[in-house]
């Protein structure tokens, strides 16, 4: 089970790269570089996407390797991801926010 959870964290991190690094597609239902609160945040969103991806993938590797530090790293990655989703909020991100909350809750329940 540890492997599956670790691979999930790595995949969750990779999704951030797939969403926030490519050039925006004009046909997409929303703009990942636009914030309803702050307008154009493409650079900040890309930086947060890279940070969330790196930290989540590191947390996944730590979980797979049974490292003692995987919990705070994973929680930090999920918090950065949630900040990114809130910054560029649209209704599509509700599932992502739920995933991040689940990651935080489940990580903090580990002994």
Residue 43: what pLDDT? 95
Query: Which residues of the chain form beta strands (DSSP E)?
Result: 34-35, 39-40
To which residue do tokens 């790293």 refer?
73
Element (H, E) at 31: none
| pTM, rounded to two decimals | 0.93
Euclidean distance between CA atoms 83 and 86, whole angstroms: 5
Percentage of the chain modeled with pLDDT above 90: 85
Domain ranges of the chain: 2-21+33-108
Q: State pLDDT tens for residues 60-81.
A: 999 999 999 999 999 999 999 9
């Amino acid at each position: 089970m540890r492997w599956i959870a670790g691979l999930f964290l790595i995949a969750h991190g990779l999704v951030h790269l797939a969403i926030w690094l490519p050039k925006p597609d004009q046909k997409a239902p929303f703009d990942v570089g636009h914030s309803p609160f702050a307008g154009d945040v493409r650079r900040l969103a890309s930086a947060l996407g890279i940070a969330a991806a790196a930290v989540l993938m590191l947390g996944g590797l730590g979980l797979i390797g049974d490292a003692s530090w995987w919990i705070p790293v994973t929680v930090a990655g999920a918090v950065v991801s949630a900040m990114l989703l809130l910054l560029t909020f649209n209704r599509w991100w509700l599932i992502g926010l739920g995933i991040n909350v689940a990651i935080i809750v489940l990580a903090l329940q580990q002994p």
